[in-house]
Amino acid sequence: MRKRTLFFFLCSTHLFFPALLRAQMDCSAHPDDMMMHDEHCAVFALVPEDGASHVSVSNGSWFAPATWNTGTVPGADATVLIDSGTVVTYDGSSNTEIFTIRVNGTLQFATGINTLLVVNTLVVDPAGIFTIGTAASPVNAAVTAQIIFPDQGAINTMWDPYQFSKGLVSHGSTTMYGAAKKSTISLTGSLAQGVNTLHLTESPLGWQPGDRLILPGVHTNGGGSMEDNSRYEDEVLIISSISGTNVQFEREADGSHSLLYSHDPPPGFGLQPVVGNLTRNIRIEAENAGALPVQQRGHLMLMHNPAQHMNYVYMYGLGRSDKSLLVDDPVVDSMGMLISGGSNPRGRYACHVHQAGRHDHAGEPLTITGCVVEGTPGWGFVHHSSHADLTDNIVFGFKGAGFVAEAGDELGSMVHNLSVKGYGLQDGDYTDLLDRLNAFDLGLEGDGFWMMGSNLSLIDNIATSCSGAGFNYFSDDDDITPNRRLKIPKAALPNPSITGALDSIYAGVTPVRANVGSQAYNVNQGMNFWTHLYNNDNVGDFSRMEYDGLTHNATSTVQNFHIWNIRDKGIAINYSSQLRFLDGILLGDMEHLYTNPDGSLVSENAGSAFVSNGVTGEVQISGCTIAGWQKALIALRTDNLVNGDDLEYNYKTSLISGNTLFNNVVSLVPETGQDAYYVPGVERFPAYLQLTEDNVFETIASDLPPLADFSYTSAGGLAISFDAGMSADPDPKVSNAGNGIAAYRWQFGDGETGYGKDPLHTFSSAGTYTVTLTVTDCLGQTTDKTKNISVNTEYYSNQIRFSNMEMDSLHDWKLVTSLDRFTSGSWGTGKDWTLMDGKAVIHKSLNDRYLVQVNRNDHLLQGVVPFSIQLRNIGDGASSNSLRVEITGVNGELSDDDPVHPDHISAWNNGDPEFSSTVLLSEEWGLTSYNWQTFSQDIDFGSGYQFLVIKIFSQGLKVSDSDEQGVDNLCLPCYCATPGGLLADDLTDHSATLIWDNVGALNYEVRYRPKGGSWISTEVNNTFMQLTSLLPNKRYQWQVRAECEGSWTAWSAISNFMTPATGSLCTSPTDLSVSWTTANAALVTWESIPGSLLYRVAWRATSGGPWLTQYISDTSVQLSSLLPSTLYNWRVSAQCTEGWKPFLSLSSFQTLAEREAGQMTENWQVYPNPAGDVVHMDLPGGTGQISLYDLSGQKLLQLDVPEGSTSLSVPVDHLNRGLYILHWIHTGGQETRQILLQ
């Protein structure tokens, strides 16, 4: 067909602007949606009614002159209007190139004869009807209906600045119904190279000799070409004959009657390749598509109206939004003139459903069924902000993605579609991904299904021969502009409760509505989730500012999937959470395990069944078969996101259950960089992975079994705290930090099961229980350790942190949640409370100022527990002021967005069915004056709570300078008994401060005396007493007792202190030094003090937190359980004969990062590990000193390394079996290694 050379008269004269004005008057649609309104106007400006050269005036044939106002049949370059009230039947074939057609009435194709329409632009008005067959009268299987968009050169952007032309754009009722044809059928089994018959699993409905078939390949030829299908070994076949379910063929490429490639899935799994039929008898295509510049191709857009249906249509060479280039949208001024851009506009796709039925979840969806797109430079079938069902369609040969949910707010389904041959980015394509993200130009890697939206049902879809992922859920990204983050109305969700009080939810945190039966094979990656339900610590709210208030526990479930013959990775989970993968098959390289003939890996990171990026968790993998991988399952963790620590949440953890793993090099691997949060290269298994006993692991590598052991201690009541930290894997193949144990499972002997490194378990009654710990290593090998433990009812320890208010400052907390920073913090306040002399006090202030603490109690406190607090309410306004104490038990993640209100705690996760909040104590003490009086109350905790929230409200107006309220010495529980913890502090030659534990008594009696003198007694209603006017260099004795329920307890044991003489030599150490540090430990030393009886070492991170204390008689101690890459302060005080001396010196040290602590793998080799009688060391050379320490920090051996030494052997047969630390100090620094003797 000839090139179009006519220059549009309308665009080159003064008539253009009046015509544009008339077109604008013509578009009154969508007054409530400016974007849709503007799109409508731009389209209909191309086909103004009064600019038509031919207008239908009666019902009739297109080819009948009487049908038209001119009395002539439309000819070349005609601009045609099918007017309202008329029905025009297109009942012939013509090569005449019509320029535009606008359908206001009805344009219908005859269905019993061959038809051909050549048209540049066809637009259907909202009131128009356009049909090529109907369900009742489809296009007869023996004929073809064809629309061709002619090769007429570049689009004239003066006439069409937005470039909607050259295509079919329908706002009306468009229906196409070709002859029914089964799109995709599974084969009965493998096909060997050279076979000449396809054996189908079902009868091929509508298939005929001459039909083109696509048989996707199942293997990748890295040296092959995409152009001739040799890269993915796809084969295009022509049916030569059909006999029942057997199909014979010839190859389109060479006419041969046998397959060039084998199509053989891994045997034994019931996997079946598929074959698709590409032939349809409705054809819409671009003329000369193979040679036509991409920007001159036609496109198809079903726009703004869901009452449109396409069935059994073939689309070839359509689409001009080119994914090899960066998107370049046109910029048009108010006069309709193109200012810039437009070289590669988005939205001109092969088959584009555009804002048709957006958010209309209750209406009938637009449908596309049994259709084919072949050969598109961008996307195939595009579902954009619409309500649409796409069923039994095929895309063959695409650049960016086959099936797309473009914006995120799409509704409907994709069922049993086939996506074949995704090119992805090639050499010479635009590859700056940041530019692409900023331009929202995505879905470009050759993915079979690219989903910006997850509120779609994906059922039984197939992706194959793709350079990207089979299925890619790309829900969000940091570099996407906020206006691209769309919302889904509450009513359009299957579980509306997840929006809480809001009327909509962001698409990025909307769970997948359904993904069932997905199949991906011969693709680079089976499935990818990117920033989906993005919650980087997996607890509480989602991790983006716009997502505030959007929290829920709903999960995205992928079920009954088949992913096999994958070139790189199985399933990638990046910045995503709340995912479940159930009952799937995940097969990698079953024969070679991603290795080359020489044994090297095909690529550094290839061959992982699951991968994550380190901020992913709360994933369930259950009932899956996983085989043929270098690395199979990933042990995901729930990190608390504090840089430099390795702490995790012990709930909302990941679950691995009921899976079968075999023919994998490694079965379980940890997340990378998760010992010290986000430190690259550090791999430590999580502490709380739930790995159930019904997983089956078959290893192909030799492996020493892990070592299992545990300790336990009473946590109070009938609760026992267990610790499996003594367990270790002697040959941790994939972990360079921690003890190499992948998972811990417990049988508590009472029928209950637990998981994690240090679980807390409450037994129902006292007695002896047989407890079994099972530890699992990276290859799935397990070891059990069983102990009989005796459980008795014990006192609980005080559960309130910083109960004595001894801390540096109060947190500024305007809200509280169940995040770790609240549950491990001290006390928070909104305003006015301060710390003074170890107490929390408040002076001049208004009503309802609060103190708050959140305690993760894990159901420890149960039954009736006594609570006590010391309060102060003094001043002129004391009779009008009071203090209220509120303690609330909470199950489920909590949020209190304004703690100033009592009983204000709510579920953090919208729709959380497990959440409960119960006020256990709400007591007001006041309206009278009292000074550090003790108040007590019993609290019934029932069967316990996950969280406790303690609030203290200052109530009343404190306006006088004398008005003051205070809080000190809380205890939960408080067992009234003889006080302990007696300590004489802040000793001078004339004073001392006496301190003891709060036992919840209303009054205490303290007595003291110089040794040999008479007792001096004083009653106080707090837990400290300041003594003055003491004599220097004098020994004093003192005791304390408590008043419990009107009676005094026995006196405590006599405690002694001695006031120092002026200039006493016994004082606290000042020469503090650090011998060595690791990532988690440090050995600190100080000078010996003459006359000292004991030393008190205190340390804490400089970032804050409580001082930790250890008492020791030696002049060195190993501090353990430290955080990597953390700066610590530490100090030492001495206990002299006269009592404890104040701290005099403060020192600091920095722990190593994990990568520093573990970097000696290449430089300093220690073997064997575990060791027996001798430890051998390979040294890189140089002098130094090697020491061996036990875990208490005691130095057991010290060896000097001779200059130039490269090896050293150390006898250790005389040492007890267990874990030790080797420490090497050399000229380049210091290194440590753990060694296990067994």
Q: 180-193, pLDDT tens digit by residue? A: 999 999 999 999 99
For residue 14, pLDDT beyond 50: no
Residue environment code for 556-577, b if the CB has 16+ CB neighbours within 10 A, otherwise e:
bbbbbbbbbbbbbbbbbbbbbb
Architecture of 983-1058 per CATH? Sandwich (2.60)
pTM exceeds cut of 0.85:
no
Report whether 558 contacts 581 (CB < 8 A): yes
Identical fold between 811-971 and 983-1058: no
Of the listed ranges 69-83, 134-148, 908-922, 1063-1077, the one predicted with least confidence: 1063-1077
Q: Which pair of structure tokens corresponds to residue 793?
A: 């009812």
Report whether 533 contacts 576 (CB < 8 A): yes
Question: In the structure, what pLDDT confidence band is assigned to residue 649 with cuts at 50, 70 and 90?
Answer: confident
What percent of the chain stands above pLDDT 70? 94
Q: Which of 546, 526, 517, 555 lies closest to 464, judged by CA?
A: 526
> CA 71 to CA 96: how far, in whole Å?
17
Show Cβ contacts of residue 822 under 8 Å, excluding neighbours closer than 6 positions.
Answer: 813, 816, 828, 854
Domain boundaries, the chain: 583-794, 811-971, 983-1058, 1072-1150, 1158-1237
Q: Which of 225, 821, 860, 772 lies closest to 540, judged by CA?
A: 821
**Mean pLDDT value of segment 344-369:** 94
**Mean pLDDT value of segment 416-439:** 93
Give me the pLDDT at residue 1163, please. Answer: 61
Identify the residue with better confidence: 1195 or 142: 142
For residue 1155, pLDDT beyond 60: no
For residue 1232, pLDDT beyond 90: no
Give me the pLDDT at residue 1142, please. Answer: 79
Measuring CA to CA, how many Å separate 525 from each of 448, 513, 584? 10, 22, 15
> CA 466 to CA 474: how far, in whole Å?
17
For residue 650, pLDDT beyond 50: yes
Q: pLDDT tens, 1049-1059? A: 999 999 888 88
Of the listed ranges 300-314, 463-477, 1190-1204, the one predicted with least confidence: 1190-1204
Question: In the structure, what pLDDT confidence band is assigned to residue 1182 with cuts at 50, 70 and 90?
Answer: low
Give me the pLDDT at residue 465, please. Answer: 97
Of the listed ranges 19-28, 185-194, 649-658, 871-880, the one predicted with least confidence: 19-28
Give me the pLDDT at residue 730, please. Answer: 87
Give me the pLDDT at residue 1231, please. Answer: 72
Give me the pLDDT at residue 1, please. Answer: 32
Identify the residue with better confidence: 400 or 999: 400
Give me the pLDDT at residue 1153, please. Answer: 63
**Mean pLDDT value of segment 661-670:** 95
Number of H helices, E strands in the chain: 5, 97
Task: Residue count of the chain, please give it.
Answer: 1238
Report whether 650 contacts 753 (CB < 8 A): no
> CA 1016 to CA 203: how far, in whole Å?
105
What percent of the chain stands above pLDDT 90? 64
Most confident of 128-132, 290-294, 713-717: 128-132
Q: Give the residue carrying structure tokens 């995040």.
A: 819
Give me the pLDDT at residue 8, please. Answer: 29
Give me the pLDDT at residue 125, please. Answer: 95
Give me the pLDDT at residue 4, please. Answer: 30
> CA 103 to CA 88: how far, in whole Å?
10
Give me the pLDDT at residue 9, please. Answer: 28
Question: In the structure, what pLDDT confidence band is assigned to residue 1192 with cuts at 50, 70 and 90?
Answer: low
Report whether 350 contacts 368 (CB < 8 A): no
Give me the pLDDT at residue 1211, please. Answer: 83
Q: pLDDT tens, 1059-1072? A: 877 766 788 888 88
Most confident of 313-322, 1096-1105, 1107-1116: 313-322
> CA 1133 to CA 1111: how far, in whole Å?
10
Strand 313-316, strand 282-286: pairing? parallel
Give me the pLDDT at residue 165, please. Answer: 97
Give me the pLDDT at residue 1152, please. Answer: 73
Question: In the structure, what pLDDT confidence band is assigned to residue 535 with cuts at 50, 70 and 90?
Answer: confident
**Mean pLDDT value of segment 774-780:** 96
> CA 422 to CA 800: how far, in whole Å?
59
Give me the pLDDT at residue 540, please. Answer: 80
Give me the pLDDT at residue 1159, please. Answer: 36
For residue 154, pLDDT beyond 60: yes
Give me the pLDDT at residue 989, please. Answer: 83
**Is the preceding peptide bond at 973 cis, omega within 30 degrees of 0?**
yes
Give me the pLDDT at residue 3, please. Answer: 28
Give me the pLDDT at residue 5, please. Answer: 27
Question: In the structure, what pLDDT confidence band is assigned to residue 59 with cuts at 50, 70 and 90?
Answer: very high
Superfamily of domain 811-971: Galactose-binding domain-like (2.60.120.260)
Architecture of 583-794 per CATH? Sandwich (2.60)
Q: Which fold has domain 1158-1237?
A: Immunoglobulin-like (2.60.40)
| Bridge partners (DSSP) listed for residue 993 | 985, 1026
Identify the residue with better confidence: 559 or 17: 559
Identify the residue with better confidence: 1238 or 989: 989
Architecture of 1072-1150 per CATH? Sandwich (2.60)
Q: Give the residue carrying structure tokens 């579980």.
A: 495
Mean pLDDT (the chain) is 89
